[in-house]
Chain A
Amino acid sequence: MTATTSSPAAAEGRGRSAGRPAERPGQRRTRHRELRGALLFLSPWIVGFLVFTLWPVLYSGYLSLTDYDVLTDPEFVGLENYERMAQDDDVRLALWNTFYYTVLHVPLLVILSLALALLLNQAGRSAGFFRTAFFLPKMTPPVAVGVLLLLLFNGQGGLVNEVLGWFGIDGPNWTTDPAWVKPGIVLMSLWAIGSSVIILLAALRSVPQELYDSARVDGAGFWQRTLRITLPMISGPIFFIVVVNTIASFQTFTEAYTAFFGSGNTTYSNDAALFYVIYLFRQAFEFLDMGYASALAWLLFVIILLVTLVQLRVSRRFVFYEGEDR
């Protein structure tokens, strides 16, 4: 292989254009080889993209304009599904529940994982042990987390209320009282923050030590160093965690579905845990209202997109990237 292949411009085959020497046969063969190789290796993704992404996106858009129950052909109904959504009290409820959960879950997750990462960063040799312990819950299948939620937060003898009892607090019925269902789910969700802690710890470890050394010489204390150096230096990863977890929390499903909704012949449900994707899932696969569910999916997409864009905009004021002038 000749050296020309390592230059993208040469391989892109503009060899014959003005100002460039004509392409030699060998070069053309190389270019051909590169393209053939690329097509061979990219073919799984190309097929997958067309069949499992592009077509589903387009077809989902079409389905959202139809009435479709899988058994009979989709019937075109225009914007009816979207009009129905606007009047559906359950959609409003599901959106409210989902926002409530996100607004509570994401900030708590960030604050707690930051606190734990800062502690771990001070832990010296034993950090590895604690890091492992913190990550363990992340390996628990979400369906089992749903079960743990029912058990630990149980109003009748659950561990959480027993611990609260030690401090003289009479714990609520977390799993049945509509006012306490969502806070309970949020608290349980915080059990699995291990990967955020690991990401932030990695970020903390990559802050240059010189910055701290010179701050110390200037007489800055622990809090000042944390506020003036640490937080700005890891604002990128913090922002990343905020965005990724906001998106994930809009799509929260398994834990709440396991704990608060019966599938199949069972009908148990608790409206306080009706998150958006749970509502969408039930419309699609329990009531076979695929057209309506597709419209719901598009609303979710638009909401996530808007929220992410707002976060990106706001972050410009707070997030500091290395090498950037401020």
Chain B
Amino acid sequence: MSVNVGAAGSADATRVESLGLAAVVQETGGLPPQRRPRLTVGRVLVLAALGVATLIFVYPFVWLLSASFKPRGEVFDNKLIPDTFTVENYLNVWQEAPMALWLLNTVIVTVLAAVTVTISSAMVAWGFSYFRFRGREALFGLVLATMMLPGAVTMIPTFLIWNSLGQVGTLTPLWAGNLFGSAFYIFLMRQFFQGLPRDPFEAATLDGANNWTLFWKIALPLTRPAVVVTLLFELQAAWTDLMRPLIYLRDSSTFTIPRGLKSLVDQYGFGGEWHWEIIVTASVITTVPMIIIFFLGQRHFIEGIATTGAKG
């Protein structure tokens, strides 16, 4: 492509318009220039309070991780360092449950869900921001309205659709709906696309580029922050989902890892004698990949939330 996109190069996350919420991404990132704060009593109190809060937010992870290295009888001793350090729980979980398979299933679902929803939502968002046609605003209003509909209303007919397609019991229903875009991400990406200047696209059109080239080769690369935010949000949503796997998956060999963890809670907890060490260890295995993804995409997560006001 011999298209000059010079002026558009600055179109990055900072161009995002607030989505109803006046939050400026720029301001959540770095810190405003300020003089070095003096250590006053007030500041010490603020830092102490934040330290206590941090402990409350972080300690459950530490607790869980430490408990997963304790033998059964000591899971509840609330000690930071295990009296008896053992990796046996991990070996046992791996033997008791098809952990590797569950992880593989989860990775398949998560990657397919994130990639499909990102591409389809970007396409639709581009359709709503670049082209002009009669009734555009009304149609976009309809997209937004679908966000308000509680999932419970569409849950049963959606199940019946996948059932009639013979897909219940497979991984398909967990991601294939994403081929059609998702209102929240369409909304998010449109905000980014609307910040793009029109010139490079008109220039490219004169050079003979078609609609798809404009979208795929120019618009999408220019809005990479939005693409990354969407991918990360959906990775997280798909990885952590329990309800859909509960509805659609029947055989333990098709379980995702949260569904597998639930089955372990049922089997080793409610099913009889509690085997906490199995449940604790499986919880760690379920959580750790999300924590890694979070640290890899931390800035994008936080900027995405500050900008869009995702729930929580």
A residues near B (Cβ < 8 Å) are 1, 5-6, 8, 11-13, 33-38, 40-42, 44-45, 47-49, 51-53, 55-57, 59-60, 63, 70, 116, 119-120, 122-128, 130-144, 146-148, 150-152, 154, 156-159, 162, 191-196, 198-199, 201-203, 205-206, 236-237, 240-241, 244-245, 247-248, 250-251, 253-254, 257-258, 262-268, 277, 280-281, 284-285, 290, 293-294, 296-298, 300-301, 304-305, 308, 322
Q: Is the interface of A mostly helix, strand, loop or mixed?
A: helix
- Least CB distance from A65 to B in Å reads 13
Contact of A134 among B32, B57, B63, B139 (CB under 8 A): B57
Q: Are the C-beta atoms of B161 and A51 separated by less than 8 Å?
A: yes
Cα distance, A38 to B49, chains bound together (Å): 53
A206 near B23: Cβ-Cβ < 8 Å: yes
Number of B interface residues in the complex (CB < 8 A): 113
Q: Which of B3-11, B86-94, B223-231, B282-290 contacts A (4 or more CB under 8 A)?
A: B282-290
Q: Does B211 make an interface contact (CB < 8 A)?
A: yes
Q: Are A35 and B133 in contact (CB under 8 A)?
A: yes
A127–B279 CA distance with the chains assembled, in angstroms: 34
Quick one: which of B136, B163, B293 has the most chain A CB within 10 A? B136
B200 interface residue (CB < 8 Å to A): no
Across the interface, do B58 and A133 meet the contact criterion of CB distance under 8 Å?
A: yes
Question: Contacts of A131 on B, CB cut-off 8 Å?
Answer: 302
Beyond contacts A37-B131, A236-B20: 16 other A-B pairs, Cβ-Cβ < 8 A, are A12-B132, A57-B157, A60-B153, A123-B47, A133-B58, A134-B54, A144-B287, A151-B63, A198-B305, A202-B25, A202-B27, A202-B28, A202-B307, A203-B23, A206-B23, A262-B266
| CB of A123 to closest CB in B, whole Å | 6
B254-273 CB mask vs A (1 if < 8 Å, else 0) is: 00011001110111011100
- Write the chain B residue with the least CB distance to A35: B133
Q: Which of A13, A42, A206 contacts B22 (CB 8 A)?
A: A206
Q: A34 vs B206: C-alpha distance in the bound complex, in angstroms? A: 15
A192: B residues at CB distance < 8 A? 312
A297 to chain B, nearest CB (A): 4
B63 contacts across to A, CB distance below 8 A: 151-152, 159
**How many angstroms from the CA of A136 to the CA of B81 in the assembled complex?**
22
Contact call B205/A1, Cβ cutoff below 8 A: yes
Cβ–Cβ contact B57 & A199, under 8 A: no
